[in-house]
Amino acid sequence: MSQRIRDRQLFGIRLKIMLPILILFLPGMAWGFSDPEILLPGGHQPSTPMEVLFYASLGVVFGATMCAVLLSFDGISRDRSSGMLEIRLAQPMPRKHQATALILGHWQAIALPVYALMLVCLVIVRYRMSEWPSVVETLVYLLSTGLILLWYTLFALLASTSAKEQGTAVAFGIGVWFFFTFLWALVTTMVAYASGVAIGESNDPTWVALEGALDLLSPNGVYHHLLETQLPTVDRGISAWQAWFGAAVWTIVPWWMLHRRMEGLVP
Amino acid sequence: MQGFRLSQTMAEPLLTFANAEHRHMISVPTLPRPWKKVKGPGIVGLNLDIYSGCVLGLVGPNGAGKTTLMRMMAGILPLQAGTVSARFSSTEAKHVDDLRQWVGHMPEQVRWQGAQTVREALEAIGDMRNTPSKRIEGLLDLVGLNLRKDEQLDNLSQGMRQRLSIAAALLGSPKVLLLDEPFNGLDPVAAEAFTQLVKRLASKGVAVVISSHMVAQLDQLIDRIALLHRGQLLDEGNLEEVERRLNLSNRYRIQGKGAIDIASLLSDIEHEHLDFEGDENEWSFVFRGQAEAVLHSLMASATVTSWSPVAPNLVELLCAATGMEVEDISLEVGSSAMLPMRVSEVEEDE
């Protein structure tokens, strides 16, 4: 079942529309950030392949996660509105298995093209910097990107279980994406203000620690924490085990919630 | 979810619902509790047996609970109260999920859509039942879609989509086949072919449940009828039994030409005058009683062009079963009130 969902989405019109965005955001950013002449705000210059991949991960946060939501937002609501959901729920395949197939099918549909483009990113970095990232760095990069795509797929499918029509499904999915991608900085700022911490002072250890801790509550933040485990120069007060624990929570909780929603799903 | 037991006893029904209940949860947001939900309409206190090889017509107006009951039978909606017993094979099952193995469900109005082909769409459902591809080929042949199997779903007509839904319901070689408003969108030829298919399946021992609000369409097809209204089973049995219980049997319509005085002509014959329309050029007389005697009497003084038994329609059945007027029934179809409605003549006598 997951294979059929994956193939339908992989060769569907939506991915064709989103592919230029992904190409622009992933290899495009890798090309830009690996420029030997690049000077980032604050005078910083990426000097290692992992640093380039870290900065290029903005393309994953802004582009790939949005594509994950746009591929999955109607994963269940479309079948509900067409009547297909009733046929599926009447099959002997347990609902938990159906939920797992839905998750894996939709996740693979976005993960496969993203992984293909990430391999291109690695080649670009090698070409521009004459250096490969280490095996561990590459594995963490690929694994954490796979995880963030999974989280947004889960959010979109969860929204889809509740949505009675497509508009609600897309609003919910994009809303969650927008909240964590653009509005999370506002949440961080508000919490800092309420705690009496100076806002935006990158040299203030209190602000850095607060931002690091709050990032554990956001999937994008956890993604960056995971990548930062391979950046020895970055320390935001979150250890590797805390980042991986956060990742496990962001994976298990929505997965479990989706299984629960599927168990009680009504056509 | 309720469990159910399986055992092999030929004389027993395949499926037995006892005091089964499923009521939909309706959102009633209040200021302190915006998530508040209450029990709304659904199915209450249902006792029903489904027999092997028998075609059961599930009949009721809009909102009667036909689709809800179908979904309960399909194992889609759990029982909130009561039990369901299933006797399909010697294997014993412990969970209601196992019910789905033996039940084929065709929902009402499935909009098959997308770039998938007919065959791919059926295979996708078949994967969930581990159906072999040979069986899928056979089913496409059975429902007359074999020549269209490589057609995209978007290009199918409504009738073809209905056929595909039937094929999907038959994927698992079901012991119980549930068909929700199957005649919708079928042309007369397809409807007739469908009727023949249902009869053939029933003759092979498949228990078929057909929901419809069109009693006339079911007349030639069903062995038993279940009358549903406001989530409750008003009456159930074979059509003659139900008609007799509701005092709707033994009714005839005679049509003819020529001037007649019905009252004097039939004064000596025991009958109940139900309706007379028309004039001496063409008239139609509906009555309950001795058809042969009335017919002979009328033929003696006028030209009889046709005579036929009058089958009850849904409105008559409902009015008779509830004791309500048609206006009251139609107005309260949308009501979510769940009140005891069983007011058949048999019960009144008791």
Residue A11 has φ and ψ, to the nearest 5°, of: -105, 10
Neighbours of B99 (CB within 10 A): 24
CB–CB contact A90 B75 (8 Å): yes
Q: Which two tokens stand for residue B342?
A: 């069983």
Neighbours of A42 (CB within 10 A): 7
CB A5 within 8 A of CB A88: no
Q: Please report the pLDDT score of residue B339 as a whole number.
A: 44
B263/A contact by beta carbon, under 8 A: no
A21/B contact by beta carbon, under 8 A: no
Which of A65-69, A152-156, A179-183, B72-76 comes out lowest in average pLDDT? A179-183
Strand B176-180, strand B207-212: pairing: parallel
**Distance (Å, rounded) from C-alpha B318 to C-alpha B338?**
16
Mean pLDDT of A26-34: 87
CB–CB contact B110 A87 (8 Å): yes
Q: Please report the pLDDT score of residue A154 as a whole number.
A: 93
pLDDT in tens, B275-323: 888 777 788 888 887 777 777 777 777 788 888 888 777 677 777 777 7
A12/B contact by beta carbon, under 8 A: yes
pTM: 0.80
For residue A93, give the chain B residue with the closest CA: B128
Residue found by looking up tokens 């954490």 in the block: A144
B90, pLDDT greater than 60: no
- For chain A, the distance separating the N- and C-terminal CA atoms, rounded to the nearest angstrom, is 19
**Distance (Å, rounded) from C-alpha B69 to C-alpha B76?**
10
Mean model confidence pLDDT for chain B: 78
CB-neighbour burial class of residue B308 (10 A; exposed 0-12, middle 13-18, buried 19+): exposed
Q: Please report the pLDDT score of residue B281 as a whole number.
A: 78
- pLDDT grade, residue B345 (50/70/90)? very low
3-state secondary structure B227-270: EEECCEEEEEECHHHHHHHCCCCCEEEEEEECCCCHHHHCCCCC
CB–CB contact A12 B115 (8 Å): yes
Neighbours of B158 (CB within 10 A): 14
Q: How far is B24 from chain A (nearest CA, A)?
A: 10
Closest CA to B107 of A81, A4, A101: A81
Q: Which two tokens stand for residue B143?
A: 């429902």
Q: How many CA atoms lie within 13 A of B88 on its CB side?
A: 22
pLDDT in tens, A178-207: 888 888 777 777 777 777 777 666 677 777
**Distance (Å, rounded) from C-alpha A20 to C-alpha A17?**
7
Mean pLDDT of B228-241: 84
pLDDT in tens, B12-60: 688 888 888 888 888 888 888 888 888 888 888 888 888 888 999 888 8
Q: Please report the pLDDT score of residue A74 as a whole number.
A: 85
Which of B231-235, B292-296, B329-333 comes out lowest in average pLDDT? B329-333
B1, pLDDT greater than 80: no
Residue partners of B34: CB distance under 8 A and separation at least 6: none
Q: Please enumerate, as own/partner, the contacts of B126-134 that have beta carbons within 8 Å and a separation of 24 or more.
A: B126/B171, B127/A1, B127/A4, B128/A1, B128/A88, B128/A91, B128/A92, B128/A93, B128/A98, B129/A91, B129/A92, B129/A93, B129/B101, B129/B171, B129/B172, B131/B171, B131/B172
Q: Please report the pLDDT score of residue B4 as a whole number.
A: 42
Our measurement of the distance from residue A90's CA atom to the centroid of its chain's CA atoms, rounded to an integer in Å, reads 33
Using only C-alpha atoms, what is the Rg of chain A? Answer: 19
Q: Please report the pLDDT score of residue A130 as a whole number.
A: 84
What is the residue range of A234's domain? Answer: 2-263
Q: Please report the pLDDT score of residue B84 as a whole number.
A: 82
* Domains of chain B as residue ranges with CATH: 15-244 (3.40.50.300), 251-309 (3.30.70.260)
B134, pLDDT greater than 90: no
Q: How far is A171 from chain B (nearest CA, A)?
A: 20
Number of domains forming the structure of chain A: 1
Q: Please report the pLDDT score of residue A202 as a whole number.
A: 67
